[in-house]
Amino acid sequence: DTEVTQTPKHLVMGMTNKKSLKCEQHMGHRAMYWYKQKAKKPPELMFVYSYEKLSINESVPSRFSPECPNSSLLNLHLHALQPEDSALYLCASSQVGLTGKADTQYFGPGTRLTVL
Amino acid sequence: AQRVTQPEKLLSVFKGAPVELKCNYSYSGSPELFWYVQYSRQRLQLLLRHISRESIKGFTADLNKGETSFHLKKPFAQEEDSAMYYCALSGRTDKLIFGTGTRLQVFP
């Protein structure tokens, strides 16, 4: 399996809901990422996990809570979101090189989130 | 500060014309540079990385450290090249910093 998969493809939620986004890869990659992409804008990094440990948090609001239960899975738990959080949420994964730095990132198709 | 600049939001050419998508970067060190492409309704995917020095789908990109540029070129554009192209930089950390992107439109 050489792809990053994400579920669901689409999600509509109210501001009081709790939902989760899921990302999975079976390429043996040990770095995984969450990005947020608004329409016609580049992806913005949210979180990086390296060897299942959170290594980068780009000052993301606490209503977004990442989780990496194992080396193949990455979740993003959502709670009390705002309408401005509506966006395409992308997951990516990469190998970690011998220097400890991540290699080329491979992206999933994204989850399109709408917050009402 | 690490920064990637793509000065053109939109580049329109006719099929068979040469294409150059510009990318300039700001980084104090030895960066890794990438070009990612996003075709309509498809996922973001790697097109080129500078260390591999290969040609993909007829595209090439050369890292010019003196001019801090990594422009993407193709001698003869095809309609299927129409897409959003992002230049990206990777520095000392695992962060990938994207430029604002250039939409390439190739007309028949």
Q: Where are the domains of chain B?
A: 3-107
Tell me if chain A has a CB within 8 Å of the CB of B41. Answer: no
Nearest-CA distance B98 → chain A (Å): 6
Tell me if chain A has a CB within 8 Å of the CB of B5. Answer: no
State the SS3 of chain A: CCCEEEECCEEEECCCCEEEEEEEECCCCCEEEEEEECCCCCCEEEEEEECCEEEEECCCCCCEEEEEEECCEEEEEEECCCHHHCEEEEEEEECECCCCCECCCEECCCEEEEEC
Tell me if chain A has a CB within 8 Å of the CB of B31. Answer: no
Identify from A52, A98, A107 which residue to disrupt to test chain B contact, counting B C-beta atoms within 10 A and taking the largest count: A107
> How many alpha carbons lie under 13 Å from residue A28 in its C-beta half-sphere?
1
Q: Provide the 10 A C-beta neighbour count for residue B108.
A: 7
Q: Provide the 10 A C-beta neighbour count for residue B87.
A: 30
Whole-angstrom distance, CA of residue A43 vs CA of residue B96: 9
Tell me if chain B has a CB within 8 Å of the CB of A42. Answer: yes
Classify domain B3-107 at the CATH superfamily level.
Immunoglobulins (2.60.40.10)
Contact A110 B43 (CB under 8 A): yes
Contact B95 A56 (CB under 8 A): yes
Tell me the mean pLDDT in the region A72-94: 96
Which residue in B has a C-alpha nearest to residue A102's C-alpha? Answer: B94
Q: Tell me: pLDDT of A106 over 90.
A: yes
Q: Tell me: pLDDT of A108 over 80.
A: yes
∠ CA B41-A80-B95, nearest 5°, is: 55
pLDDT tens-place values along chain B, 108 residues long: 789 999 999 999 999 999 999 999 998 888 889 999 999 888 999 999 887 777 889 999 988 989 999 999 999 999 999 999 999 998 777 788 999 999 999 999
User: How many CB pairs lie under 8 A apart between chains A and B?
Assistant: 46
Q: Are strands A111-115 and A10-13 parallel, antiparallel or unpaired?
A: parallel
Which residue in A has a C-alpha nearest to residue B46's C-alpha? Answer: A106
Nearest-CA distance B66 → chain A (Å): 24
Helix (H, G, I), strand (E, B) or coil at B81: helix
